[in-house]
Amino acid sequence: MTDAVGSIDTPDAQDQVTESKKKPRKGGKRAKKGPLKRLALFYRQIIAELRKVVWPSRNQLTSYTTVVIFFVAVMIALVTVIDYGLNHAAKYVFG
């Protein structure tokens, strides 16, 4: 028995005809513009995106910088302590 709507496994014959009539695109809108126009468009898009950025205030920038410097100092101290400990442990084990 066949289904009136059709099944997922067998597409309708009409769908196959419309798919074969479509021509593949060869580059779309980008192929019609020269390299300098594409480069200019790229830079205009960069500037447009940078205008959307919410830049931090001077106070926020100072606090963020302080937090980063403090975190880096703590991590340096932690790695130094671990390195010092492993160095002494290796000297103890290997003489």
The predicted-structure confidence for 24-42, as pLDDT tens digits, reads as follows 666 555 557 788 999 999 9
- Asked if residue 72 has pLDDT above 70, the reply is yes
For the chain, where are the alpha helices, taking DSSP H only?
13-21, 35-52, 58-94
The mean of the pLDDT values for the chain is 83
Spatial contact of 38 and 44, defined as CB atoms under 8 Å apart: no
Measured CA to CA, the distance from residue 84 to residue 90 in angstroms comes to 10
Task: Check residue 27 and report its DSSP letter.
Answer: S
pLDDT number for residue 58: 96
Spatial contact of 74 and 66, defined as CB atoms under 8 Å apart: no
Measured CA to CA, the distance from residue 83 to residue 89 in angstroms comes to 10
Q: pTM for the complete prediction? A: 0.48
pLDDT number for residue 29: 58
Angle at 87 between CA 86 and CA 90, to 5 degrees: 80
